Homo-oligomer: A and B are copies of this chain.
Amino acid sequence: MKKGDLLIIGGNEDKNGELLILEKFSSLCKNRTGPIGILTTASGFPEEVGNEYKQIFSQLHGEEPILFHLDTREKAEQVDIPERLSELSGLFMTGGDQLRLTSLLGGTTFYKHLIRNWHNGMMVGGTSAGAAVMSRLMIISSKTIKNAEASILEMGSGFGFLEDVIIDQHFSQRDRFSRLMRAIALNPQIIGVGIDENTAIWVQNNGEFFEVIGEYNVSIFDGKKSTYVDIAEKSNKNMTISDIRFHTLGDGAIFDLQKRELKLP
Question: What total of chain A residues lie within 8 Å of the partner, measured CB to CB?
Answer: 39
Could you tell me if A217 and B261 are in contact, using CB atoms closer than 8 angstroms? no
Residues of B within 8 A of A242 (CB): 247, 249, 261-262
Which of B215, B238, B239 contacts A238 (CB under 8 A)? Answer: B215
| A237 CA / B215 CA spacing, docked (Å) | 7
Which of B148, B173, B216 contacts A216 (CB under 8 A)? Answer: B148
Could you tell me if B244 and A217 are in contact, using CB atoms closer than 8 angstroms? no
Could you tell me if A247 and B241 are in contact, using CB atoms closer than 8 angstroms? yes
| A240 CA / B219 CA spacing, docked (Å) | 9
State the copy count for this chain.
Answer: 2
A112 an interface residue at 8 Å Cβ cutoff? no
Question: Restricting to A231-260, which residues have a CB under 8 Å from any CB of B?
Answer: 234, 237-251, 253
A36 to chain B, nearest CB (A): 28
A1 an interface residue at 8 Å Cβ cutoff? no
A5 an interface residue at 8 Å Cβ cutoff? no
A178 an interface residue at 8 Å Cβ cutoff? yes
Residues of B within 8 A of A149 (CB): 216
Residues of B within 8 A of A237 (CB): 215-217, 250
A264 an interface residue at 8 Å Cβ cutoff? yes
A243 to chain B, nearest CB (A): 6
Could you tell me if A245 and B246 are in contact, using CB atoms closer than 8 angstroms? yes
